[in-house]
Amino acid sequence: MIVRLLILLLPFLLSCSVSKYTTGIKTMVELKGEWKFKIDPDDVGLSQFWYSSNFDRSDWASVEVPDFWDRYSNFSSYDGIAWYYKSFEIERIDKRKKYAIFFGGVDDDCGVWLNGEFVGEHRGYSDEFYFDVTKFLKQGLNELVVMVIDHGGPGGIYKPVAIVEYSEIEDLLKGEFYYKNARKSEEWVKDAIIYEIFPRAFSEKGTFKEIEREIPRLKELGVNVIWLMPIHPIGEVKRKGTLGSPYSVKDYYGINPEYGTAEDFKSLVKTAHENGIKVIIDLVINHTAWDNKLIIEHPEWYVKNDKNEIISPNSDWTDVADLNYDNPELRKYMIEMMKYWVKEFDIDGYRCDVAELVPIDFWNEVRKELDKIKPVMMLAEGSLPEQHLEAFDLTYSWNVYDALARIIRNGHLPSVLDNVLESEKYKFPKGSLRLRFNENHDKPRAVKFFGEDGALVSAFIVNTIPGVPLIYNGQEYGDTTNLSLFEKQVMSRDSVSKRGMKFYSFYKKLFNFRKNSLALRRGEMIKAKTLNDDKVYAFWRKYKDETVLSIANLSTWGVTTKLQIDEVLKKKIKNGKVKFYDVFEDKIGEAKVEDFVNFKLEPFTFKLISVF
């Protein structure tokens, strides 16, 4: 289930100070309290200039910011576009100073205007972000307009907004967790190449036995961790579709009989382990199916409305009932259940669905208990920096996915990705591992979304920047099958078509090189400059004596570009030549420096080169 259907828990996020954890920043105006608000279901706001200074907003509602608009009267189920307006006073402008507008978080995307002038846009709900407004800010009255685009679930300006005075960009980016260290993960977690499996869609029979038969192939492909989407019985009451969502769990201790038996599952885990592959399973504990026995046995464990009726987490998730983690007995039950699967089936961890909707102190307690049994992987379907401190090894980097979408689909500059990675560096604890992907069960098939070449180049990027890569079942064949959560659809294993062979060969070469490359798994990322930085994205990954170059054309234009001879490359030059291994060409070569640094790249093509 998609993490964007977000928080409504974590009230501290709504009140934290912008400048609490930064230096060199002075808050000029905190823009909290009353704002004007209007929804735009027909998307007419831009054409009607709702952002202009003299626009009539007399019919706009008054609302409180920060907050999700789902909490405003009459907007609890609205998804789409909405506009916010706020006027404020600045007593004095010092022309020697720099000023920015700082947003703690907007769900999901937004555009910002100040005094009728477009300031900038931001994509992705989970990030703090800022815009320099030095040239737009006025002494006296100022008018701020924000257009918010919500793609589903809660929407709005849900964290603080402020006008700040700053000296350095880094001051704006540093958050509380920049000064802390992430928990130390196991080496196999850092080395993971995760393959997500939807058992129902993985084969015609959709069983554990069918997955077990594929373990040798997955090993050969280079996969070393498999994540099984929920394996439990699926609820029937209020079921969506014919077969229901696996995220509607009927019995936490049971196994979906369509997949097989407990012995079948144990056999799958054993075979995976014998092939050097770890197994994690999906954990769905924010909510249950309506026919889960806990509703009858422990109705006090659920969230209820003012009529004492158990409710769903939101208006869209009608097939599930919301759990209330204020109840200590519920917490005990869930911890024992999680320990059961590790002890009895020897699984290696959990992918935790909508982890942000379950209190972080619960996850911290869980992790301590699981660590007493064996080292595990804990993957949060969330993006909160604090999740890395104690409970989780990995969080979802929706930010990188959104950046790649902007670059590949909308023609934005590759520097968008730099901005995202830089912001991540300053917001997350040191050593945080992020899950990188260009496709998963919550997102469209990469080939459909990015196009065939775009799917390959985006996969190339997510597998070569720092982080842990994910691949969704069928992605290795360039599959375009839309795998519904609620119906029976089977992934394609088209290994003989031109596309199928190209994609499979790409992933096999990339994954197996990565498994043997400490530079890609552990190395520092150092940006490399080219003559075409507006189209080409190039960087080094360096670990001890190993150096790897990733270079990709992220534009629709073919380019002949030249790599700048920087300090990294200088150390590899001997007698004016460079020795290299071209991963996708599978060849070792030696070239004069002037030849080596010239690259001809067709649109959305790339090279991965080990320099030695």
| Alpha carbon distances (Å) from 370 to 367, 373, 572 | 5, 5, 45
Q: Decide if 34 is inside a domain.
A: yes
User: Is 38 part of a structural domain of the chain?
Assistant: yes
- Indicate whether 74 and 216 sit together in one domain: no
Range of the domain at 400: 190-328+348-357+375-516
Claim to verify: residue 509 and residue 526 sit in the same structural domain: no
- If asked whether residues 425 and 444 sit together in one domain, one would say yes
Q: What CATH code is carried by the domain that includes residue 39?
A: 2.60.120.260
Domain CATH code at residue 539 = 2.60.40.1180
Does residue 342 form part of some domain? Answer: no
Beta strands in 260-308 (DSSP E): 278-283, 287-289
Return d(Cα 326, Cα 304) in angstroms, integer. 12
Does 512 share its domain with 531?
no
The burial class, CB within 10 Å (0-12 / 13-18 / 19+), for 79 is: buried
| Tally of domains in the chain | 3
**Phi–psi pair at 588, nearest 5 degrees:** -100, 140
Residues 431 and 542 in one domain: no
Indicate if 222 and 113 belong to the same structural domain: no
Verify that 449 and 507 share a domain, yes or no. Answer: yes
Q: Is the pLDDT of residue 186 over 60?
A: yes
In a domain, 185, yes or no: no
What pTM was computed for the model? Answer: 0.86
One domain, residues 323 and 423:
yes
% pLDDT > 90, the chain: 85
- Give the CA count within 13 Å in the CB-facing half-sphere of 499: 15
Within this chain, do residues 153 and 198 fall inside the same structural domain, yes or no?
no
Best CA proximity match to 97, nearest among 25, 30, 162: 25
State what percent of residues in the chain have pLDDT above 70.
Answer: 96
* Domain-embedded: residue 340: no
Asked whether residue 366 is assigned to any structural domain, the reply reads: no
Report the pLDDT value the prediction gives residue 126, as an integer from 0 to 100: 64
Are both 220 and 137 inside the same structural domain?
no
302 domain-assigned: yes
488 and 552 part of one domain: no
Looking at residue 25, its amino acid is: I
Residue range 83-137, pLDDT digits in tens: 999 999 999 999 889 999 999 889 888 999 999 999 988 877 767 788 999 999 9
pLDDT at 195 over 80: yes
What are the tokens at 589? 């070569």
Q: What is the mean pLDDT of the chain?
A: 93
| CATH classification at residue 476 | 3.20.20.80
pLDDT at 515 over 60: yes
How far apart are the C-alpha atoms of 69 and 62, rounded to whole Å? 11
The answer to whether the Cα torsion of 154, 160, 162, 167 is positive or negative is negative
Task: Tell whether 464 and 528 lie within a shared domain.
Answer: no
For 151-259, where are the E strands, in sequence order?
156-157, 161-166, 194-197, 225-228
In this prediction, residues 253-259 reach a mean pLDDT of 98
